[in-house]
Amino acid sequence: MRIDPRQFQVRREQQLRDEVMQDFGVRKALAKLREWRGGKGYGYRRNLLSSTLRLTRSMSPEIADTVAQCKEMLGYDSPVEVYVTPEHQFNATCYREVKGPTILTLSSRLLEAFTPAELRFVIGHELGHAVFDHYGLPMPITATIEELGIPFVSRPTSLRLYAWCRSAELSADRIGLLCAGDPEAAASGFFKLASGMASERVRPDLATFARQVESLASAPEAREKEYDEDTLDCFSTHPYNPVRVRAVWAFSRSEPYLEALGRSTDSAWALEDVEQVIERDLQLMEPSYLEEKNQTSDTLRRLLYTAGLAVAAASGGIEPSELEALGRLLGSDHADAPVDVPKLLGDLDGRIAAALEVPLRNRAQLVQHLTIVAAADGSVSEDELHVMEDIARRLEVGAQVVHQTIRGAMHPID
């Protein structure tokens, strides 16, 4: 069976990529990256050859056959090399330099714990990034590259780039599901990656998790009551996981997916219906309060700035990278303004009190954005964690939002 991957690409990814590629700043950033690389490659591959195990067919015919089968299905003709990294976490990545083969890395723990069907999902996902050329728009460097302290890409475009990244992951998930041919294997593989668990006591069910996020994915204007704690619990597991679960589940019921696998389409969903679900769900992940011009947005932006400084200052001093992270979220006006930390921290209580009037979903999203500031210098200290937990508690947001967002970010499906 051979498919055309483009017909399965998430519509929102295509739209966003077309938009950002027309942006002058993005084109300038990509040109600068090409200048840095100088048309050369092989550095990443050379490092892997010197420090990890390249998995040949003689060592693992099963993995070699899985890669070959996925490539055949996708019509992907470029050479693929597989490397095993000595990691105790589930992890898989795919990368291609300017020149050379596509590099697929799998952690040793993933190879030990994943079933053949789960491996097909993971390998298919990674090859999905390759067939859609997601490396042609490298992130996050495209959004953050600068010259003489001035970013090439404007903040609104930067936010669209990150939105494109999220959509790109969903496109890769679809390819993983097609290669696996089994929604249950996709579910178990996905949740092993997301949770780090391989216990038989936990059997993820894709449809069950999709139903769990129904209230989160419902259009906000259709809800007449405040977001409840059950909705928040689901949302706080990780800003990407609930949307990804629902997208995989919905695609597994779609007419194109079932047709591609030669299965009955009697009760199938139209692809248009699946795209509408995804686009609605993805909107819930976009930080609209950072761009909107209204009182609620102003309240949240002021609190994010003050709370972000409180988190950054918790570990003994505010690092430039932490101020830069706040600037990327809020705009250059905040990044360039002089910081009177004691005075601003004195405003924290009042700004938290004012924010209690805004929807719980927005408060939870703000707490998640605090983790971006905390992790900007490469780590999250215990002191920073305690401050975030305290701010979350005072905003009536469960502290698990902080923990699960950080944990989720440590286990991406790249």
| CATH superfamily name and code, 5-189 | Metalloproteases ("zincins"), catalytic domain (3.30.2010.10)
Distance from C-alpha of 335 to C-alpha of 342, rounded to nearest angstrom: 17
Distance from C-alpha of 155 to C-alpha of 95, rounded to nearest angstrom: 26
Contact 374, 339 (CB under 8 A): no
What letter would DSSP give residue 240?
Answer: S
Contact 105, 93 (CB under 8 A): yes
Run of H or E residues at 107: strand 102-107
Domain ranges of the chain: 5-189, 192-288, 289-410
Strand arrangement of the beta sheet that strand 53-55 belongs to: 53-55, 80-85, 102-107, 92-95
Distance from C-alpha of 3 to C-alpha of 1, rounded to nearest angstrom: 7
Q: Which of 24, 188, 215 shows the shortest CA–CA distance to 114? A: 188
> Which residues of 10-57 form beta strands (DSSP E)?
53-55
Q: What is the pLDDT along the chain (414 residues), one digit of tens a residue?
A: 788 999 999 999 999 999 999 999 999 999 988 887 665 555 778 888 888 899 989 999 999 999 999 999 999 999 999 999 988 888 888 888 777 889 999 999 999 989 999 999 999 999 999 999 998 898 778 888 887 667 788 877 877 888 888 889 899 999 999 999 988 888 788 777 766 766 665 555 655 555 544 433 333 332 333 333 333 222 222 335 667 777 888 899 999 999 998 999 888 999 999 998 888 777 666 666 666 778 888 898 889 889 988 988 887 777 777 777 777 777 655 555 556 778 778 889 999 999 998 888 788 878 878 877 777 666 788 888 999 999 999 998 888 778 766 665 544 434
Long-range contacts of 387-396 (CB under 8 A, 24+ apart): 387/310, 387/311, 387/314, 388/311, 391/307, 391/310, 391/311, 391/352, 391/367, 392/367, 394/352, 395/352, 395/355, 395/356, 395/363, 395/366, 395/367, 396/356, 396/360, 396/363
Distance from C-alpha of 137 to C-alpha of 119, rounded to nearest angstrom: 26
Distance from C-alpha of 203 to C-alpha of 207, rounded to nearest angstrom: 12
Could you say which of 1.20.140.70, 1.10.1660.10, 1.10.3680.10, 3.40.190.10 is the CATH number of the domain covering 289-410? Answer: 1.10.3680.10
60 CB-near residues (< 8 Å, 6+ apart): none
265 CB-near residues (< 8 Å, 6+ apart): 255, 258, 259
Contact 98, 39 (CB under 8 A): yes
pTM of the model: 0.70
